[in-house]
């Protein structure tokens, strides 16, 4: 048994965040200056796979500088692994496209767009967990 997790420490006075990822999906960094969306993949191992020494060596904090209008998007595999009627996954690229298409309108728009895009993609196909 294992579990993934991520944490983010906001440091607004220094225009940065510190994050750590323990097997969790890579957060997406939206940079307003060039409207790019990049998965951030700091090293990290899921909790419960190792008793400590390997986990401690692989899982580290990672600093990200942010400018006004930038956004860090955390999500779960419920987004990327949502299935359509043919068994295809929504995937990372569609997730990136949803974020890029809505990021200029702010965080609420990103959430709404990702949820709508996943729902439209999966239709009535049953999922492992259901969207609210």
For the chain, give every domain's residue range.
1-72, 75-123
Segment 52-92, tens digit of pLDDT: 788 888 888 999 999 999 999 999 999 999 999 999 999 99
- For the chain, the first-to-last Cα distance in angstroms comes to 26
Residue 130's Cα: distance from chain center in Å?
Answer: 18
pTM for the whole thing? 0.86
Say whether pLDDT at 112 is over 60: yes
Runs of H (alpha helix) within the chain: 53-58, 77-80, 91-102, 107-122
Per-residue pLDDT at 94: 98
* Comparison of pLDDT for 121 and 128, the residue scoring more: 121
- Give the Cα separation of 132 and 114 in Å (integer): 13
- Give the Cα separation of 69 and 103 in Å (integer): 9
């Amino acid at each position: 048994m294992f579990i993934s997790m991520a944490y983010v420490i906001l440091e607004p006075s220094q225009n940065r965040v510190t994050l750590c990822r323990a097997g969790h999906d890579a957060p997406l960094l939206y940079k307003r200056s060039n409207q790019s969306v990049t998965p951030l993949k700091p090293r990290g191992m899921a909790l419960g796979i190792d008793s400590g020494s390997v986990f401690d060596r692989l899982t580290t904090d990672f600093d990200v500088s942010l400018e006004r209008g930038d956004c860090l998007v955390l999500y779960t595999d419920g987004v990327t692994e949502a299935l359509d009627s043919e068994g295809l996954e929504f995937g990372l690229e569609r997730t990136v496209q949803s974020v890029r298409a809505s990021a200029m309108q702010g965080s609420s728009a990103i959430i709404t767009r990702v949820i709508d895009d996943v729902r439209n993609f999966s239709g009535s196909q049953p999922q492992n967990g259901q969207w609210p």
